Copies of this chain bind each other. A is one copy, B any other.
Amino acid sequence: MSKLDTGKYIELFRTELYENVLPFWLEHSLDREYGGYFNCLDREGRVYDTTKHMWLQCRQVWMFSRLYNALEKRNSWLEAARSGVDFIRKYGCGSNGRVYFSLSREGRPVFIQRKIFAECFYIMALDEYSRAVGDLELKKEALALFEKVLTWKDDPAALGRPVLSGQPAVSSLAVPMIILWVADQLAEGEKDAPFKELMEKSTAEMLLHARHDKKIVLENVAPDGSLLEGCLGRLINPGHAIEAGWFLLERARKTGNHELGEAAISIIEWPFEKGWDPEHGGIFYFMDSEGAPPFQLEWFMKLWWPHCEALYALLLAWHETGDQRFADWFEQVADYAMSRFRDPVHGEWFGYLNREGNPTHTLKGGAYKGCFHVPRFLLLCIKLLEKIC
């Protein structure tokens, strides 16, 4: 095995999780009046908007339940999870089972997306919490909703999306990724190994996004894996691809699929090499595979979550391959992230930096940032590092 000071990182990440990240959310996010979480928090943890975004309500339930299940049986973590699970079950779903995107502070529905992601995070939350408290009814609820999601995911009309004749048929990387993630969650520890076929299908769909000829991972391809025209077909989201890479690498480890493991390593390596800004450091948010101007105004920004995903992915890739490059890249990203994103004054991490690596936003929580990516990567890295040591 090549060199990485694993002891240093266990210590660093444990301190970060226990002293800098979790206290921020436990102190500032719990809504003790209405339940659920305030997820729009400024640098110091003050609530600047009381909207409750369901992605983040559900992810926070999952996160505290997971910490409780995997790291330590802390009552404060279970209590934090319970406050969220009660809230989302009471207010999160419409009559047809669709999960809202956002609620008012008291739980009245504000917005619903024409996508399946809120539902998937809801399932994750119920399932992980059910393991924490041993409530099999919650697991059944999660499974029942997943059955619905599997029909909705290929049926735009069911989600309220108009079907128009000029729309190309698209396989979006995000969909098989989240299906794989949810199926893997629901199957964890189950004796009859459910969803095996579904996970194989999702894995195969994800692999279609990796283009060996150009060493790139595309966000969108045709369902048969062929290239799509225009910006849609050239879009690269390096952090998202790297996340897909570690999902696949974990799948490969669980199934002992060596070939999948090799493909997964490439899906971590290629987007990292392409996505790292050679001039200012950090991982770009979006890129065009041919260098055309990306539609996304924020393409050049450095966001916290691609760096969280990269840290775990690179550590896992190093563990699997022993290749020193991955250890070096891991240290490079850790240095960047801990010096640029981490807020040593008020806890948690900044979410959004300009290309040069300076914060453009001081928020700690917003419509898409909450108690999730930072503690998840810390937990994953701590568990893996402890295993290695």
Contacts and interface: CB of A to CB of B under 8 A. Distances in A.
Contact of A293 (B42, B51, B108, B231): B42
15 contacts: A40-B231, A42-B292, A48-B292, A49-B292, A108-B164, A108-B165, A110-B164, A112-B162, A293-B362, A293-B363, A297-B297, A297-B301, A297-B360, A297-B361, A299-B360
A103 interface: yes
Interface of A: 40, 42, 48-51, 100, 103-104, 107-112, 160, 162, 164-167, 229-231, 288, 292-295, 297-301, 352, 354-355, 360-363, 366-367
Contacts of A293: 42, 48, 361-363, 366
Counting every copy of the chain, the complex holds 2
Contacts of A355: 354, 360
Contact of A166 (B108, B299, B362): B108
Q: Binding site of A, secondary structure by majority: helix, strand, loop or mixed?
A: loop
Nearest to A300: B360
A110 B156 CA distance: 13
Contacts of A352: 297
B300 A111 contact: no
Nearest to A288: B48
Contacts of A42: 292-293
A105 to B, nearest CB: 9
A236 to B, nearest CB: 15
CB-based closest 6 A-B pairs? A108-B166, A293-B363, A49-B230, A48-B292, A109-B164, A104-B166
Contacts of A360: 297, 299-300, 355
